Structure 1
Amino acid sequence: MRRTTDIGADRVETLLHVRADANAQFFTAEAERVSRLCHKMAERFAREGRLVAFGASPADRSDARHVAVEFVHPVIVGKRALPALGLAGEGGAIAPQVALEAEADDIAMAFGSEPDILAALAAARERGCLTIAFTRDSGAEWEFDLAGAIEDRLIRQEIAETLYHTLWEHVHIFLDNRGLLEGRAARPVHD
């Protein structure tokens, strides 16, 4: 007879393998697209753009605030703080907040698929922002969209968190190498 702890350990082991495989598949398939996105984000930051993250549900607001803090408060010594803000439903509807705050060189990062969030993404796009959608609905008009990539909501959340940490880290690689950004040698910003 197997002990309950053995069964639980087997279950955890299986879940770990499923998640590791999902991460490997996603990041292998999306490596080039993620790299290009990091480059675009770094160019925006070099032009004094900001990250404007937003979400409506409690979980999505948490992600928006988490990613904003990641960029504003670097966890690696020597990395620069980058301008970022997290907008949430406590301030009213998100779309009007984005329309008021977002500027052309900003990066809009949306969490959630509520109509207000999709309207906020559209408002950001109209203002010239780079648009990144951590939504459950595909929007071909966004520069980067995580929709449809992962069915399991828990694995999707883990990949989303890993992805926005990866974005932060790789944006800094581009910012740390002046020659990789258009016009960077002439006008350094955030140094």
Structure 2
Amino acid sequence: MFDLAEQAGEITRTCRRMAERFQRGGKLVVFGNGGPSTDAQHVAVEFVHPVIMGKPALPAISLTSDVATFTGVAARAGFAETFAHQIRFLAEPADIALGLSADGDCRNVLRGLEVARSIGLLTVALAGGDGGTIAATGAADHVLVARSADPLVVKEVHVTAYHLLWELTHVFLERTGVA
């Protein structure tokens, strides 16, 4: 079972780097398939419309929200390119790419992270299982793995992890006086 305490150092490093990107005017670009697609939307809303009073909004978009673009790219370029294509046209080097995969083997999440990294984005992945190909290939600068084969457990760990990413990124921004 995944223990977030074991990942405390990696979570801290990730959030510090995310805060640096936001300070430079970057935005968060989030994506995932199936259940993680709704998590991607949840993450984007958390950053753009914080529910905690006094926390500043930070720019974020979910690449799963535009069904017309998602299905259009899938029809023309193939499902594996759905996120990579959008990142090529919507992302900037100062941005952060956050890919979510319940098993770590989603080809389009992997391709999105690969393209994001090639453009210069900070790349972060939340993966389940053993981290799958996303963890094995090193496509992301930071990978947090919910070590469970149960997708429900993975989802709960991911929800906790992205709330930690949100909170600690704000802590770093507050300490530098940018927020």
TM-score (norm 1): 0.76
Structure 2 counterpart SS, 1:151: coil
RMSD of aligned Cα (Å) = 1.8
Report the alpha carbon displacement of residue 58 of structure 1 after superposing the two structures with TM: 2.9
Instruction: Look up the match of 1:43.
Output: 20
**Aligned residues with identical type, % of pairs:** 39
Aligned residue number for residue 177 of structure 1:
175
**Structure 1 residues 63 and 75, CA, compared in 2 at 3 Å: closer, same or farther?**
same
The C-alpha deviation readout for 1:140-165, integer Å capped at 9, x for no partner, is 23112234633332211111100000
Report how many residues are paired.
Answer: 157
**Deviation readout 1:39-67 (Å, 9 max, x if unpaired):** 00000001001000012x33121011000
Contiguous gaps of at least 5 residues in structure 1: 1-21, 179-183
Secondary structure of 1:78's counterpart equals coil
- Bigger shift: residues 46-55 or 105-114: 105-114
Matched, 1:162 2:151: no
- Aligned positions of 1:136-155 closer than 5 A: 136=128, 137=132, 138=135, 139-147=137-145, 149-155=147-153
1:95-106 equivalences in 2 (<5 Å): 95-106=84-95
Shift in Å, 1:99: 1.1
Higher Cα Rg, which structure: 1
* In the alignment, structure 1 residue 61 sits paired with structure 2 residue 61: no
Q: Is the partner of 2:10 in helix, strand or coil? A: helix
**TM-score normalised per structure 2:** 0.81
- What code does the residue aligned with 1:73 have? H
- Does the Cα contact within 8 Å between 2:123 and 2:141 map onto a contact in 1? yes
Gaps of 5+ in 2: 71-81
Runs of 4+ in 1 over 3 A off after TM superposition: none
CA drift of 1:166 comes to: 0.6
- Distance in structure 1 (CA, Å) of the matches to 2:144 and 2:11: 11
